[in-house]
Amino acid sequence: MTTDPRPTTRGDRRFAALPCRPGKVVAVHLSYASRAAERGRTPAHPSYFLKPSSSLAASGDTVERPDGTELLGFEGEIALVIGKRAHRVALDEAWSHVGWVTAADDLGVYDLRAADRGSNVRSKGRDGFTPVGPALVDARTVDPGALRVRTWLNGDLVQDDTSAGMIFPLARIVADLAQHLTLEVGDVVLTGTPAGASVAVPGDVVEVEVDAPGAPGAPTTGRLTTRVVAGPGDFDPRLGSVPAVDDTQRTEAWGSRARAGLPEDTGTGRIPDALRAKLGAAPVAALSQQLRRRGLNNVTVDGVRAMHPDLKLVGTARTLRFVPLREDLFARHGGGYNAQKQAFDRVGDGEVVVIEARGETGSGTLGDVLALRAHARGAAGVVTDGGVRDHAAVAAVGLPVFSAGAHPAVLGRRHVPWDVDVAVSCGGATVLPGDVVVGDADGVVVVPRDIVEDVVDDALAQEAEDAWIAARVAEGAALDGLFPMGADWRARYDRDTADGSDR
Q: How far apart are CA 103 and CA 132, in angstroms?
A: 6
DSSP state of 32: B
Q: Is 70 exposed, middle or buried (0-12, 13-18, 19+ CB in 10 A)?
A: middle
367 annotated as a binding-site residue:
yes
**Is the separation of the CB atoms in 115 and 332 below 8 Å?**
yes
369 annotated as a binding-site residue:
yes
151 closest CA partner among 107, 109, 189: 107
Spatial neighbors of 274 by CB under 8 A, at least 6 apart, are none
Spatial neighbors of 102 by CB under 8 A, at least 6 apart, are 17, 18, 79, 81, 132, 133, 135, 136, 137, 210, 221, 224
Q: How far apart are CA 165 and CA 364, in angstroms?
A: 38
Q: How far apart are CA 495 and CA 398, in angstroms?
A: 44
**Is the separation of the CB atoms in 350 and 316 below 8 Å?**
yes
Q: What are the beta bridge partners of residue 401?
A: 382
Q: How far apart are CA 216 and CA 466, in angstroms?
A: 81
Q: How far apart are CA 178 and CA 86, in angstroms?
A: 6
- Mind spelling out the 3-state secondary structure of 440-499? ECCEEEEECHHHHHHHHHHHHHHHHHHHHHHHHHHCCCCCCCCCCCCHHHHHHHHHHHHC
**SS3 (DSSP) at 79:** strand
**Residue 77 CB: number of other CB atoms within 10 A?**
29
User: Is residue 232 left, alpha or beta, with left meaning phi > 0 and alpha meaning psi from -120 to 50?
Assistant: beta
370 annotated as a binding-site residue:
yes
Q: How far apart are CA 219 and CA 135, in angstroms?
A: 10
397 annotated as a binding-site residue:
no
Would you list which residues are annotated within the binding site for Mg(2+)? 390
- Residues belonging to the binding site for substrate are 367-370, 389
Binding-site annotation: residue ranges: 367-370, 389-390
